[in-house]
Amino acid sequence: KDVVAVCKWVCENLSADRVLLVGSSAGAPISGSAVDQVEQVVGYVSLGYPFGLMASILFGRHQKAILQSPKPKLFVMGTCDGFTSVKQLKNKLSCAAGRVETHLIEGVSHFQMEGPAYDAQMAALISEFIASL
């Protein structure tokens, strides 16, 4: 509800007609669940989406929404994530609707990717994805 409310506020108060939702770690399933609830959302970027077994218990109800959305999606993950294996990511995304892109960062863990050393790379990947929409 909060993500939807913020998106609607932005569209109404900042005259935005296109919104890209970006979620990192636990925020990825939360933001992903709102993608199809706001017409102005044109795409979605996940940074370290937790698809693993334990995360599925916590966020499983959120996964369905983003996987079924026809809107373009980019999933960025380190190959040493710890919460989600590359195999789990590929298995989950194999049944996803619409345009789905992945970007794997070799040898990087979940929390490393969230650190400032990767901020510029994350910003570049997001900018590149925006340009493709």
Q: What is the pLDDT of residues 23-53, one digit of tens each?
A: 999 899 999 999 999 999 999 999 999 876 6
Q: Name the strands in the sheet holding 41-47, side by side, starting at the edge strand that comes first in the sequence.
A: 19-24, 41-47, 73-80, 100-109
pTM flag (> 0.85):
yes
Phi/psi at 104 (5° precision):
-100, 135
Domains of the chain with bracketed CATH: 2-132 (3.40.50.1820)
Residues facing 78 on adjacent strands: 105
115 three-class SS: coil
Average pLDDT rounded to a whole number, residues 122-133: 97
The Cα–Cα gap between 99 and 43 comes to 10
Q: Higher pLDDT residue, 73 or 92? A: 73
124: which residues sit within 8 A by CB, 6+ positions away?
none
The Cα–Cα gap between 75 and 70 comes to 15
